[in-house]
Structures are given as structure tokens and as C-alpha cells.
Amino acid sequence: MSEEEKTAGQKRAEELCLKPKTVYEGLSEEIREAALKFCVPYAEFLNRAKTEREAVKEGIRLAEDRGFRPYRMGQSVQPGEKYYYSNRGKSLHVFVIGSEPLENGIRISAAHIDSPRLDLKQHPVYEESGFCYLKTHYYGGIRKYQWLTIPLALHGTVCRRDGSMVDICIGEEESDPLFYITDLLPHLARELDAKAMGKAVDPENLNALVCATPFDDEKVSDKVKLQFLSLMNEKYGLTEADLISAELCLVPAVKARDIGIDRTLLASYGHDDRVCAYPMLQALMDCENPVHTIYAIFADKEETGSDGPTGMKSDILPDMIEELSRALGADSCVVRSRSKCLSADVNAAFDPAFASVYDTKNASYVNRGVVVTKFTGHGGKYSTNDASAEYVGYIHNLLWNNGILFQTGELGKIEAGGGGTVAMHISGHNIDTVDIGVPVLSMHAPYEVVSKFDVYETYRCCLAFNSDAAEQ
Ligand code: MN
Ligand code: MN
């Protein structure tokens, strides 16, 4: 329709009303093609990096390929130099020193690389009725029933009694065995099916079947347990005593795969939050000669509250800013006050199957681009970084000016539940922070779904943020 043919009301509506756009209305075919390509290596990253340690290793590999070098606290740095810093192998900081003074602020982005899973308990191995099992303690928010009868892989690291470390990964190769938690057959589930879903699975029963053969010796008890330990000893040199100094977990033994005949949706374990971590890292590495110092964080422990030295509540970020400030002759208080941050994490995509828990006017939707989430939290906006109008305005304008498709999001209806991100732990250091990220279907399920276009818009959002030369 030409401009002359539009009625006064149509023109007025275009001027005044904000209409949401899908990626098919808001993005060129060229950008949509680029999005599909971008998600091919993303899927490989997902398959290689299922735990925070694996994500750090993969992040370092990608960064080294692009000329990044390890950073040591206290060393000198120069504009244009590219570094990474591994915090205990469980969180990763990657940065490029900008061409202008550090006191003009750092462009920080942060995403987490831990995902909900089943950690092994300290004494995990036991035998019962001819089976050997591993006892688990779930990590992060899970719906327990989703972890029954799915293929599970064992990942992790063990510190042996001699002090040596050994990495374990069983269940990812086609030829590997898998681990498995049983469920009750429907024929005998009358009583169980009458229970509330949240009570149907006792967390102490999330025990994985790992061996069914006895050790061939009449003189020993717990023969199946001994057979399991014996096989683990042959392969990894482990004893039961080593397992009390281990970080082992069971994760879904599934690979990232396209969903739907059109192949624009991608399913994987742990999109939350590698679906933001991967684009964020690429956007840092793809930003040539940044004006501001740009800085990306792979954070650990977000799913359990960001505690500990590798979580975002630790002093590692202000310490690193202090170190860089010292090296570049800047005042770290000034640096933090002028820095900006994108807290990159997923949001709950509207799901028509569960429409009643969403405010449809404020929910995020699959295929509408990157989500800007002003606040998270629960109830009366408790436990949230509620970004200022000035800062969300700056981000919205940056996205509009760069032709990046975005939407806003709120995590469900006001009292339906709630959740948080690392945003408040960063903004507490006097750094303007806002949440951005990818809308996810079935968040925290063993197999989550995202739109490849939304992933790419998140990448373009992080790239525009890193490339922006605005003074503050
Ligand atoms: Mn998350
Ligand atoms: Mn999460």
C-alpha cells in the first residue's frame, strides 16, 4: 500500500503503536540465512561442552584459535591485546583491551555455562537386588520426572588419592554405554499417578543403573558393586576413596538436533545458558579493534545461586577490573561507574501448551529476536536488578539503530513463580546492567528448544554492544 492510500488512522497507528514483529517480518533473508549457518558450530559447541569445565576448555580452544593468550594477574597490558583468564577451570574471562582510556568504561557481557543436571553424591556407589547404582543429588532447578528413562552420560573430574586428576566422559560416543534411571510401569502406577507431580519422584530415588554383573568370587559381598569399581579402576585407575574428591555428574546423552521439518529450531541439553555464552564469546572475538575494552564472562554456579569463587557473587570481576586499572593507570572506581553490562541469559518463551502461566502482553516469544528483560525476580520485584529507564533506553536505541530484531520479556505471570540471573551480582558493583538473551521452550528440561534466528539476534546484539563507541 502506498503512503497516499493509507487512511489518517492507519498513519496514526503506525506512528504511535508498537507492533511486535517476527523474524520473517523484521529480518532480511540474508540475515536469516546467516543465522542458520551460525548455529552449525553452535551445535558442535553444545555437544562438546556439557559441563562448565568442558565449556571453559572449549572457550579457551576457540579463543586461542583467534589469537587470545592467557592472562596472569599483575601483568602489563596494551591496547589491542587479547587475553583469556581461566578461573579454576570452571569460569572463563575473555577480553580485548580497547584503544581508548579504560576510564571510559568496559563493555562487559556475562553468561553462565553451568546447567541443571544430576551430580553424584560423595558416596554414590551401592548395590541392591543384583544391580549397582550411583546415587545423585540434583544440581539446579529440575522437574525430577523428566530425568527418568532418558539416556544419561557421566561427565566430570576426579582428584585421586595420589593428587592426580582424571577427566571422565562416558556415554557421548556411539559405542559408549549409557546410564539410566528407571520409572514405574503404568500398569502398576495407580497410587503414584494420584500424587502431585512435584511429589511423584523422591529425589533420593534418582539413582542411576550402572552395572548388572557380579564380580566372580564367592568370598566377597556386594559383588556387583565390586564389579563396577573394578571396571572403573581398570579404565580410570579409580578407587571408591577417590570418588569422595570428585565432581561427577549425569547429563542427558543427547546431541543437539534440528526440530521441525523447516530446520529452524534447535533442540539441545543445556541451551540455558550456552545459547547466550556461545554468541557472546563469538561477538567478542568478532569485534575488531574495539574502542572500549570489551570483556566476556563464562560464569559458573548460576543455577544454584552464583555462590563460590567461580560464581558471579565472588570478587573475581571487581578484582580483574582492579588489575586492569592498575596496569593501565586508571581508577577502578571510575572504570566501574562508567562500565556497562549485558547479562546474557535465557527467558521463558511463551508456550501455547501452558498459556495460563504467561502474561501474553509481556512474555517473550520464539522467533521474535533477542529478548531485553528489564527485570527478573519474583513477587513484588524481589531479588532483581531492575535496569534504569536510561540504560534500557540506551540498549533499545542501540538495537533499533543497528536493525537488530528485539522484544521485551518477563518471566511468566507475576505470582506464577519467578527466577533470577547474574545481573544483580554485576550491577551491585556499580555497573549498569540489563538482561538480554534467547527465549527458550521447555527451559531446564533435559532437552530444550530455541529458534536459530533468536540465537543469531543475540549474537548481533552483543556485537553491536561491543562495537558501540559511545563515550559512556
Ligand atoms: Mn540461565
Ligand atoms: Mn537456568
- Residue 240: C-alpha distances to residues 166, 180, 345 (Å): 14, 21, 38
* Percent of the chain scoring above 70 in pLDDT: 99
Residues 83, 67: Cα–Cα separation, whole Å: 8
Predicted confidence (pLDDT) at residue 244 exceeds the cutoff of 70: yes
Average pLDDT over every residue of 236-257: 97
pTM given for the model: 0.97
Predicted confidence (pLDDT) at residue 53 exceeds the cutoff of 70: yes
Predicted confidence (pLDDT) at residue 114 exceeds the cutoff of 70: yes
Place of cell 556387583: 224
Supply the DSSP string of 409-460, one letter for each residue.
--SSSTTS-EE--SHHHHHTTT-EEEEEE-EEBSTTSSSEEEEHHHHHHHHH
CA of 52 to the centre of ligand 2 (A): 13
Q: What is the dihedral of CA 59, 377, 392, 265, to 10 degrees?
A: 50
Task: State which residues have CB under 5 angstroms from ligand 2, the bound ion.
Answer: 272
Predicted confidence (pLDDT) at residue 26 exceeds the cutoff of 70: yes
Ligand lying closest to the C-alpha of residue 277: 1
Place of cell 567461580: 310
CA of 68 to the centre of ligand 1 (A): 26
Average pLDDT over every residue of 25-29: 98
CA of 105 to the centre of ligand 1 (A): 26
CA of 444 to the centre of ligand 2 (A): 6
CA of 346 to the centre of ligand 1 (A): 5
CA of 289 to the centre of ligand 2 (A): 33
CA of 461 to the centre of ligand 1 (A): 18
Q: What's the chain's average pLDDT?
A: 97
Predicted confidence (pLDDT) at residue 201 exceeds the cutoff of 70: yes
CA of 186 to the centre of ligand 2 (A): 31
- Please write the tens of the pLDDT for every residue from 203-214: 999 999 999 999
pLDDT on residue 472 = 60
Q: Which helix (H) or strand (E) segment is 227 a member of?
A: helix 223-236
Ligand lying closest to the C-alpha of residue 113: 1
Ligand lying closest to the C-alpha of residue 276: 1
φ/ψ of residue 92, rounded to 5: -135, 135
Ligand lying closest to the C-alpha of residue 117: 2
Ligand lying closest to the C-alpha of residue 445: 2
CA of 361 to the centre of ligand 1 (A): 22
- Please write the tens of the pLDDT for every residue from 287-341: 999 999 999 999 999 999 999 999 999 999 999 999 999 999 999 999 999 999 9
CB 48 within 8 A of CB 35: no
- Please write the tens of the pLDDT for every residue from 149-191: 999 999 999 999 999 999 999 999 999 999 999 999 999 999 9
pLDDT on residue 110 = 98
CA of 118 to the centre of ligand 1 (A): 17
CA of 470 to the centre of ligand 1 (A): 29
pLDDT on residue 3 = 72
Average pLDDT over every residue of 17-40: 97
CA of 242 to the centre of ligand 1 (A): 31
pLDDT on residue 2 = 76
Average pLDDT over every residue of 332-355: 98
Q: Which helix (H) or strand (E) segment is 346 a member of?
A: none
CA of 228 to the centre of ligand 1 (A): 35
φ/ψ of residue 14, rounded to 5: -65, -40
CA of 130 to the centre of ligand 2 (A): 37
Ligand lying closest to the C-alpha of residue 304: 2
CA of 318 to the centre of ligand 2 (A): 24
pLDDT on residue 99 = 97
Average pLDDT over every residue of 65-76: 98
pLDDT on residue 211 = 98
Length of the chain: 472
Q: Which domains does the chain have, with CATH numbers?
A: 11-115+269-467 (3.40.630.10), 117-252 (2.30.250.10)
Residues 448, 143: Cα–Cα separation, whole Å: 13
CA of 302 to the centre of ligand 2 (A): 7
* Percent of the chain scoring above 90 in pLDDT: 98
Q: Is 240 helix (H, G, I), strand (E, B) or coil?
A: helix
Lay out the sheet containing 432-437: strands in order across: 69-70, 82-87, 91-96, 293-299, 106-112, 340-344, 432-437, 370-373, 406-408
Average pLDDT over every residue of 402-415: 96
Residues 458, 343: Cα–Cα separation, whole Å: 11
